[in-house]
Amino acid sequence: MIRLSIPVRQALEKLSLPVLIAAAFGLMLIGKADAVLAVEVRVALADLLSPIYAVMAAPLAEVRSTTADIVTIWDIRAENARLRVENEKLRRWQAAALALEAQNQEFKSELNWMPPAAPAFTTAPVVADTGGVYARSVLLAVTPPHKVVVGEIAMDDRGVVGRVTEVGDRSARVLLITDINSRVPVTMESSGAHAIMEGTNGALPVLRYWPEGSAPVDGERVMTSAAVGAFPAGLPLGIVHYNADHVPQIYPVADLDHLSIVRLFDYGDTLVEAPDAPPGRKLMQQQQPPAAAKSVSVKAH
């Protein structure tokens, strides 16, 4: 190895930058003076370096793959740790659920409890989401021999979608729970208090008319109520969240923005008409004795 004196090294260091600048300007001048020559130089360099790139490509790809595998393994370790904690919690919940199920079965046998009959239902595809006379509704294709009646409850695989308001020979229209004409009696899971869920023509309905001292709790579930006979009790609707104006909104559990198939459940006659159902398609109200409670009609605004 050649040892250079300190003055020589300092001189070289001072000259390196001017030399590089001069070389850069020289290359620029050559490129401007003879574009063909510049292209030939670039092509020659590419030809020279191409085999080197080809040889290095496989090891570099292997390094990248190995690095990705290491990152994946690290992520899997973290995910496994999280899943272990979650599984432990689920085991405790499973034990509690099994104990409650056994206790529930014991109570049912003691009371000679008879479970209610499962409601009949029809599955229908959503063929259009045009609102018609409503801002938020969907049109279903119903083919014979399936029979749908006004007032049936529409649900997807998560929760309540709405109610049937119009029925044709091969179609049915469902008024969504987000439509401004929709009014659904609900029960709040935490307190058991009743309220009304109103549609807003937006993505989120709101809660109204809860009892004093039983305000909705943020994060609690909301279920249908059978208080006025419009819906059966216990069907899942959504989760309560307060907006910036401190208005309790409901985040529906049903995927209303991506409806493709819904099920129409027939829970029997209802005491409440569908909102502004056309003449001849309204629900037949049940005949009640004079002492029975009056039916409540939900009207469009």
State pLDDT tens for residues 166-182. Answer: 998 889 999 999 999 99
> What is the per-residue pLDDT across 52-93, written as a single tens digit (0 to 9) for each?
877 888 888 888 888 888 888 888 988 999 999 999 999 999
CA angle 150, 155, 156 (to 5 degrees): 145
Pairing of strands 120-128, 261-266: antiparallel
Domain boundaries, the chain: 183-253
- How far is it, in rounded angstroms, from Cα 151 to Cα 199? 17
The CATH superfamily of 183-253 is: Rod shape-determining protein MreC, domain 2 (2.40.10.350)
The residue whose two tokens read 């008879």 is 114
CA angle 145, 149, 152 (to 5 degrees): 115
Instruction: Give the per-residue pLDDT at 272.
Output: 54
Split at pLDDT 50, 70, 90, the class of 289 is very low
Phi, psi at 169, each rounded to 5°: -70, -35
Instruction: Give the per-residue pLDDT at 280.
Output: 43
Q: Is this model's pTM higher than 0.75 or not?
A: no
Split at pLDDT 50, 70, 90, the class of 225 is very high
Say how far residue 297 (Cα) sits from the centre of its chain: 32
Averaged pLDDT for residues 212-240: 91
